[in-house]
Structures are given as C-alpha cells and as structure tokens.
A and B are shown apart, each in its own frame.
Chain A
C-alpha cells in the first residue's frame, strides 16, 4: 500500500511540477487585467466597425 501511495503521490507531484515548469511560458504570455480589458475593448470596437455581432455578447451559452 505504501508503495502505491508513494507512486500515486509522486505521480501527482510530478504532474504539478511539470505544470509549473511548462506553464512558465503560459504565465509570461498571460495578460494583465488592464491589458485584458484593453484587448476586449479593441475587439468590441473592431466588431462594431465591421458590422459583426459583439464578440462578448453575454447571454449566449453556446451555438449548435
């Protein structure tokens, strides 16, 4: 049992460490709140100019 638990825990720890390692890149690429808001504003304005629906329309759960 101890070996199984050790393996299981080490597997999960390895997964978390791996996520942390690989995610460094993702973290660097993540926008800040201000950047995200600016990005959204730009996207909304671009859609408005192009006569397309608002990309952040709130109420649609999904489309088929």
Chain B
C-alpha cells in the first residue's frame, strides 16, 4: 500500500511547472488590464464593507461569506488584482492538489492527474459562468481529502491543517457543504474520535456564516420550483444529460458550455475516460488505506446522484416539492455543481488506469503514451485555453461608474437600479452578460431585480422589497413613491425605462452609460442599520475567522510537521 505520501522537492517541481503552464494557458487574457465580467463573476475596484454584502437581510445568502471576504480584502488590494490572484490560485492549486493526491510513484501519472483535474468540463463551465467561489472549493477539494486522510491516520497537526484547507472552500454554501461532506465521510474514524470530532466541528463552524444568514434572512427558505427544470443538468450533444454529467460537464447553461462539448465524438471520449477510470479503480483501492477508496467512491457517487436529481424521472417532481417546502433545498436546483468530488475520484482513477495500462510497456513507449494521455483533455476541449477561447476578456468600468459612486457615497439612502434586470449586457463589455455590478460598486443598499430569466422561463427571486418595488412599477406608479433615495438608470442595454416612471426625480448626473436621479421626497438616511439578525451573521463570520486564526496558529506552532 503506497498511500498518499509527501513528495520530495525533486518530485514537486515538474508538478508545479505543469500546473503553472495550465494556469497560464487558461488565464492568459487576464494579463490585459481591467476586470473580466462574465455572468456571476463580478469584481469592482473596491467593494464596500456593507451590511447588505456581509449579511443580506432580504435575499438568500448565496455569496455569504464570500462577499464579506472580498470586501475585506479589497480594502487593501485592488479588485482587479484579487480577481487574478483568486483565479490563478484556483487553477494552479487544483492541478497541484490532484497531482499530489494520486497514490503513485510515477511522475507522469502525477502530471496526468494534475492536468486532468485542471482541465475538466466542470472547471471550464463554472469558470465560464463566473462562479469563482465554486472553483476555489474545487481547487481545495484534493487538499481537503489529503488532510482528512491525515486526520484519519492520526497524524499530529492534521486537524488544524484540515481546517485551513477547508476554509477557502467554505466561502460559498455549496463549497462549505462539499468540504463538510468530505470531512464527515473521510476523516471520521473510531481510532481517533477526538481528532475526527474536532475536524468536523471546525468545518461546521466554517459553515456557520451562511447557515446563520439563511436562518435569519427575510427572504424565507423556499425557492421558485421553476428553477428545478431551468437549472437541471443539460445534454451537451446527442448523448444526453447523464453522459454529460459522467464526463463532469452538463451545466444548465448553453452559453457557459465550451463549444467543443457539443462535438459528436465527445461521448466516446467520455466512455474512454470511464473505461480508464474503471481500470484504475483497483489500484486506487489497494494503495489507499483500507476502506478509504470505498468512502471516496461514495462521495463521488453521491455528488453524481445530486447532479442528476433534476433529470431523473420522478425525482425532479420530488425536488420541485422540496425547494418549495424544505428550507434550503433550493441549493439542489443547480445540482451539477455537486459534481466536484466525482470529478476528483474520476481523475484519480483514470490516472491510475493509465499507469496500469502502460505498466507492461517498454519504458520509452510508456512515456510517449502517458504524454499523449496528458494532452488528451486539452485536445478534447481546446476551447478552455485563452480564457475559454476569448470569453474572459477584461474591460474597464466607464468613468460614469466612479462619478455615480462618488455622488451616492455623499448622501446615503437606498438605490434602485433600472431597468429592472438581474443581469446586464453592457456595450462596454461586448458579447457578455454579467450580474449587475452596481450593488458591489456603490457604497449603498442597491435594489436590483432578482428574477432570473433562463430562455423563456422566469425564475422568481426571493427579495420581498424588490417584489414590492416591481409591483408598484407595474402598476405604472412613479419611482418617487417607492421610498428609494436614488435611482440609477443604466443605458446601452436593450430594455428601456418609461420616462413616466422617473417623474418627479431630479437628475444629478447624466452620462453616456449611467444617469443618476435623486428622489426629493425621500431624505438622506442610513438605510442599513444593522439589526440583531445581521449581528448574528457577523458573529458567526467572526467565529469562523477565529477558527481559521486558531488553526493557522496551531499549524505554525508545529512547523516541523506543518505542510
């Protein structure tokens, strides 16, 4: 049994070089100045540390504590740099983590695992839909598995290391759940019950911010059941959604799927990958400590099952019922995001399958075959390179944005973004759709529509205040009567704002991209006074931060064995 061992420096550098090369290949366009704004990926120069971002009172905590972390970091580091560091670290550490985790003595097999895990359809699709928080969890996953195995083995200092590698994953609810699942399944052992319990408790506390935020939000715990069908796994080609999931793809959005995934031969590549993984399952079982491979398989299988829930006949109906009646079940709507553990297990098995395949070959030929297999993920999905073939392209915010932010910061009050739309397609960010950056750009409470349009289906949001404003506007009432202090009209988008809606407002700034109106009937007031609920979220976030600090202190104190 080889197990997962520490690598020597000589073994590490090729892994790091390959990981760096993959990172460069994927993120090359980010060398240009500006911000890559694509779907859910929104970075701004300096994100305010507001209560609405730390503990949203009226919406579901999908970005808790991620927004709070970004707000804190961008007080010191500019947003454009944070974006590049986060994305580069996610891809680099995903590759290195998988390469270090695979139980093998062959360098080529490590490199194969590294490239395989950093070049999956899952990573490509979540990058192209801009869910960078999920990519961070994906990158942390092999490190969490490794640390959990060390806890299981009773290694000194393993618990703080596990907490430290799980912390980045827990910046989003999905990542936090994935981290907890790995720890609960892999780290639990009767031989070291105290360490196991400490590890599980630590990861539970890391999840506390979003759990508390979900508990206290005024948005309720249920979601629109229309989202189950809208966000269910999608077939990429003739083979359907289940085969797409088996190949770690199948995200609901056609726009976030690399074009190469629709090629008719892709299902055959998936089949080859599954066969290779099948060949490698035996070596993985033998080389990991007893019982670990079965637990890993359970994690991967569980992830695959969650991803498929929305497309399994009969189950989709149960899921629709659950998202309405079970608080928090809305997390399962876009189930494909739970594929991460499956992707890791698949890559580990496939890498060992390749090793077994070349075991009896002439060493020279074996090297050539491994090199060919190393390039296979890139050959099958070449359009992940160069920022998803040009989809990630940095742009600069027009000067209007800075001017409007300055005016709003001088007089506090609620801001309404019009036209009502959650996502925007700006002329200065051509060919891309992005979540409205205004709530993160302005130091104020910004009301934006939270209805998601997927094709012709409108998936209702949860924010009751937005719902009320939408109702008033639909009745033809002017914005002046909604109680907002400011209105920002965003130009250059297809939708128009009816001038009657803006009656009674004073124009404060009129630019080519934004017009700012002041509502003279509403006095400037601090709208974001924190209540007990928001203090509870802040307390949970502070506790999570303390847990990370304590883990860091403990790991550093054990330097000879840490990392």
Contacts and interface: CB of A to CB of B under 8 A. Distances in A.
B306 interface: no
B336 to A, nearest CB: 12
Contacts of A63: 253-255, 454-455
Contacts of B89: 12
B544 interface: no
A58 B32 contact: no
A20 interface: yes
Contacts of B427: 36-37, 40-41, 56
A11 B114 CA distance: 14
Contacts of B129: 62
Contact of A8 (B16, B34, B39, B423): B16
Given A8-B16, A27-B33, A55-B431, A15 B395 contact: no
Given A15-B23, A61-B253, A26 B29 contact: yes
Interface in B508-542: 512
Interface in A29-64: 30-31, 33, 36-37, 39-41, 43, 54-64
Interface size class of B (residues with CB under 8 A): 35 or more
B65 interface: no
A14 B14 CA distance: 13
Given A8-B16, A19-B30, A60-B423, A37 B433 contact: no
Nearest to B6: A4
A27 B424 CA distance: 24
Nearest to A42: B430
Interface residues of A, number: 42
B177 interface: no
Contact of B230 (A5, A16, A57, A64): A64
Contacts of B424: 58
B12 A7 contact: yes
B202 to A, nearest CB: 22
B24 A40 contact: no
Given A58-B419, A60-B453, A11 B16 contact: yes
B430 A15 contact: no
A11 B39 contact: no
Interface in B58-111: 84, 88-89, 92, 96
B492 A61 contact: no
A21 B13 CA distance: 21
B186 to A, nearest CB: 23
B31 interface: yes
Contacts of B391: none
Contact of B430 (A5, A10, A22, A36): A36
Among A18, A20, A58, A60, residue most surrounded by chain B Cβ atoms (within 10 Å): A58
Among B21, B31, B563, residue most surrounded by chain A Cβ atoms (within 10 Å): B31
A5 B256 CA distance: 35
A13 B75 CA distance: 23
B242 interface: no
Contacts of B315: none
Given A20-B31, A61-B454, A36 B428 contact: yes
A8 to B, nearest CB: 7
A27 B34 CA distance: 10
Among A5, A19, A54, residue most surrounded by chain B Cβ atoms (within 10 Å): A19
Given A12-B89, A16-B88, A33-B398, A58 B495 contact: yes
A58 B421 contact: yes
Interface in B394-434: 394-396, 398, 419, 421-431, 433
Interface of A: 1, 3-5, 7-8, 10-12, 14-16, 18-27, 30-31, 33, 36-37, 39-41, 43, 54-64
Given A11-B96, A37-B428, 9 more contacts: A11-B19, A14-B17, A26-B387, A33-B428, A43-B430, A56-B430, A56-B492, A57-B494, A58-B433
19 contacts: A5-B563, A7-B12, A11-B19, A11-B96, A15-B19, A15-B88, A19-B31, A20-B31, A22-B28, A23-B32, A26-B387, A27-B33, A55-B431, A56-B430, A61-B39, A61-B454, A62-B129, A62-B256, A63-B254
**Which are the 5 A-B pairs with shortest beta-carbon distances?**
A23-B31, A62-B253, A40-B427, A18-B24, A11-B16
